[in-house]
Structure 1
């Protein structure tokens, strides 16, 4: 099903901007991009998509009902892809109120407005309409050494961030079952790639390494994540909104489990090749183990076999290729990350849960 008019929330963020860039470059869709432009939103991340006649941008808060009603009424979307969210665990520890407001209240507001809009469509338009809610594997809690999350895994959120995302997932399903709103959901593993805000592990490590600073690794570095390149994720999102079954959830993972220490070491190895230190030593010598994050989940892993089986999706990037091109992108795009670091975030430690 080709979708002609797509409303993307959070489209100036990391995953949202990757999705918008793909929609503009690889489809004929009209895209209405709604983003509040908080610290993590950046219009520079939209690159050439921002200047396309098929892209329109609105700086607006998804909690602002009148603004959302106006956008739905004037743009008349055939699908909503809802990515707007506060997303960093450490920030949720320090300040959970923003997460509750955006992730819970904002999703409720968007659902309520979308439902009223959907009810006003004719029968054919109602059948083709989709509300795609984009979520995280963190809602499932923490795994031990074995097993993986899939669409049947019980929810067990452990941080303020994951609790608010779990709440938003439940709201979306409730609106489907109670009001009939045609929804699809996705839960993804950790994303990485170009245009990633540098509070997250991979970009933070790259930028600290080239600045000659210590590379902080939480605890003993043994916590495990499944890494998914953001462009692979965007391809999955497009497939799900176009072909996913109504009311269904699809897990999206990169088949790339790594410990945090392995991730940092892989970045160091790439930098050793692309930008050798002047003293000839490895960037690994800058690694320092620091006090662990409070309540740090041990391991996440995604079983994406349903997505592969039903929609034919597979990640195109291996972790080795993805991390190499990500490091290369940051080395080649200092203007983008320098402007980010000159703003609200300077690479300081977050999420220490100080009273």
Structure 2
């Protein structure tokens, strides 16, 4: 398949998702997708229909002719005369978290060998089925496996810091991208409004805070009133309806109280002053600052640990409030250009 055909396939996939989300389900696979969305919540207690459809909408929004072509223009991709097989080990923390790698490998003209997380193994195969139904040439380019990975030319693996050490050892002789834990932070200023902070709630709570793009820590002015923040995010109180979130919140609250840590609590989110970036579920770390520039300098020193910096400062590497869970096609995990990696194989 040439590049134009590959792009068109994913444009059609975007339309398929849009039709499903807009209630215009006419394709024979729409019923299968609907059943899969409904059943996925039973495979993973962190998944909800709302969050799955949120993820599907994000992909529907970017899988358009204009956005795909604009993204790919700078790479000058060709169709490989001898396509490589790329093994992709996917995480399962949020719905379809591995789709960007899936997209990159197939648009690059290579073949993909997918090893999914047991926490998210039902959604992507339906999207793959759609590609194959529309163009059978995809059937020889997409393979899913639950077995030990064999016969591949390069690997893209996403996991924790612990699994990354294993990946780095096991895949050391193959070209690879190995991703580790990353976190996102927000830099709040005195000028931020209640509406700004309400948008920040989306960055913190979408997917229950399980993604690397979820804000796990905030930096606040030294005289910032915590009540202002709590009032802005109060609409997220229904998080406690999920028993897994509620259990984490209750557990962490008990640990902090028994350890006599000073915390703030609004009934569904704990705020704890802490220098670490990674906070547990149901908890948000914070630090107070006097000089904004000092925080910016600190974050620059720890870029390798951060995925997103959210603020109204909107410097080159900052993201606006409420936008972390709507990444563009150019937003690469760990800031490693996946397409460039594939092009150079």
Who wins on radius of gyration, i.e. which is larger?
2
Q: TM above 0.5, one fold?
A: no
